[in-house]
Amino acid sequence: MRKSLRVGLIGTGFMGKAHALSYQAAGSVFDDISRPVLHAVADIDGARAEQFRNQFGFQKAMTEWRDLVADPEIDIVSITTPTLFHKEMALAAIAAGKHVHCEKPLAVSAADAQDMMLAAEKAGVRTASGFNYLKNPLLKYAREMIASGELGEITDFNGIHAEGFMADPETPWSWRCDPAGGQGAIADVGSHIIAIARFLLGPVSQVFAQLDTPFKTRPVRQGAAERKEVGVDDIARMIVSFERGCSGTLQANWLATGRNMQLAFQISGSKGTLAFSQERMNELHYYKVGENSRSNGFRVIESGPQHAPYGAFCVAGGHHLGFNDLKTIEMAEFIRAIDQNRAASPDFREAWEVQRLIDAAVMSHKDRSWLTL
């Protein structure tokens, strides 16, 4: 009989649903891990919590997250609330001896993220943060190509995460616009491209940043005349230097009209170039110097069973993975780390490193100067 790990989920929004689906799938797709069991769900809206319990088969529904954290039957706490609440919830779960998965960005500030990281490491519990796009098998393949020297000396990295969900200036003010909950686009979407840059090329040593807020106010609710000041950035642009010696750019933008998921990068090297976009997440474009001399173009590497763990989902290439498959891989790797009593990747320490760069970029913008991490 496979061991079971009981999951407590806090939050029933978009990411709460993604967590519930991925825990369910992970236990079926991967047979080498403990089976996750959906034990309890908490949401301040009791009706919503009960609906979620029925929809996904949780054993319990509650309105108080503290009751969930205190439940002695729960092994894993998954936090999918707005960033402002992450620290208190995570520290309580850690103090209760639970393993913790917390969505990104991990905390409002690097100082808060560090507190969460150190508490978890002292308690000996396993942690993970929701950088699910790192779980794309093609990104792992890209990192292998870079590490093996197939691109030669890396000369440039250009990365962007652009979406348009805030592009309408009449979109109402929300928690995303409140600086009490952390930074804006640079943290919300920018954390993903920062995590990818670090995953592929390693630590960033210096940053110079510019943050813009084109829409200074937003209506307090849909159609309202009353407006409220936006206290965070809508667009962030960063020039960065990597410890490995190359440099590049990172951009975060939630005003990108027409874009749903332009999480993309291009890495250039002396022997070749890799290009990727999450909008075509099953394709990695590769140019090799000296190859295709007449067409001088890129070739497409399409994801398939040869790129583990794609084959756990489908035995045939070209059938493609999706967003929830990446979350399933993420949860499976987290559970595997718990089973093997080792650090997950990315864990709270890596999420803290991402937050350090976000904080440094904000300070660079305020000081109008380069900042060394």
pLDDT tens digits for range 171-206: 999 999 999 999 999 999 999 999 999 999 999 999
Residue 294's pLDDT is 62
Q: Is 231 exposed, middle or buried (0-12, 13-18, 19+ CB in 10 A)?
A: middle
Q: Does residue 75 share a domain with residue 169? A: no
Q: Are residues 115 and 195 in the same domain?
A: no
- Looking at the structure, tell me whether residues 38 and 144 fall in a common domain: no
DSSP assignment of 99-162: EEEEPSS--SSHHHHHHHHHHHHHHT--EEE--GGGG-HHHHHHHHHHHTTTT-SEEEEEEEEE
CA 121 distance to own-chain centroid: 21
Would you say 116 and 91 are in contact if contact means Cβ atoms under 8 Å apart?
A: yes
The residue among 84, 105, 132 that closes a domain is: 132
Tell whether the model's pLDDT for residue 351 goes beyond 90: yes
Specify the residue for token string 């090297």.
269
Q: Is 214 helix (H, G, I), strand (E, B) or coil?
A: coil
Residue 356 maps to a domain: no
Determine, yes or no, domain membership for 299. yes
Residues 273 and 124 in one domain: no
Are 33 and 158 in a shared domain?
no
Q: Is residue 8 a part of any domain in this protein?
A: yes
Q: What is the pLDDT of residue 290?
A: 83
Give the pLDDT confidence score for residue 33 in this predicted structure.
98
56 and 170 housed in the same domain? no
Question: Are 163 and 306 in a shared domain?
Answer: yes
Instruction: Give me the pLDDT at residue 209, please.
Output: 98
153 part of a folded domain: yes
Residue with tokens 């849909």: 222
* Distance of alpha carbon 177 from alpha carbon 217, whole angstroms: 9
Confidence of residue 291 (pLDDT cuts 50, 70, 90): low
Burial class (CB in 10 A: 0-12, 13-18, 19+), 341: exposed
| pLDDT recorded at residue 297 | 85
**pLDDT tens by residue, 24-45:** 999 999 999 999 999 999 999 9
The pLDDT tens digits of the residues spanning 86-134 come to: 999 999 999 999 999 999 999 999 999 999 999 999 999 999 999 999 9
**196 within a domain of the structure (yes/no):** yes
pLDDT value at 142 more than 90: yes
Q: How many domains does the chain have?
A: 2
Q: Does one domain contain both 159 and 286? A: yes
Amino acid identity for residue 342 in this structure: R
From 115, 132, 149, give the residue that closes a domain: 132
Average pLDDT of the residues in 288-313: 87
CA distance 272 to 107: 37
Band (pLDDT 50/70/90 cuts) for residue 1 is confident
From 217, 252, 251, select the one nearest 231 (Cα to Cα): 217
Tokens of 259: 């874009």
CATH number of the domain to which 256 belongs: 3.30.360.10
Q: What is the mean pLDDT of the chain?
A: 97
92 and 228: one domain? no
Residues 102 and 192 in one domain: no
Res. 295 pLDDT band, cuts 50 70 90: low
Same-domain check for residues 48 and 82: yes
Say if residue 128 is in the same domain as residue 150. no
Mean pLDDT of 310-330: 97
Residue 26 lies in a domain: yes
Check whether 286 has a pLDDT greater than 70. yes
Output the domain CATH number for residue 16. 3.40.50.720
Query: Is the confidence at residue 292, as pLDDT, over 80?
Result: no
Instruction: Please determine, for residue 169, whether its predicted confidence score (pLDDT) is greater than 70.
Output: yes
Domain span including residue 105: 4-132
What is the rounded distance in angstroms from the CA atom of residue 77 to the CA atom of residue 42?
A: 11
SS3 248: strand
d(CA 172, CA 228): 9
* pTM summary value: 0.96
Note whether residue 231 is domain-resident. yes
pLDDT digits over 153-165, tens only?
999 999 999 999 9
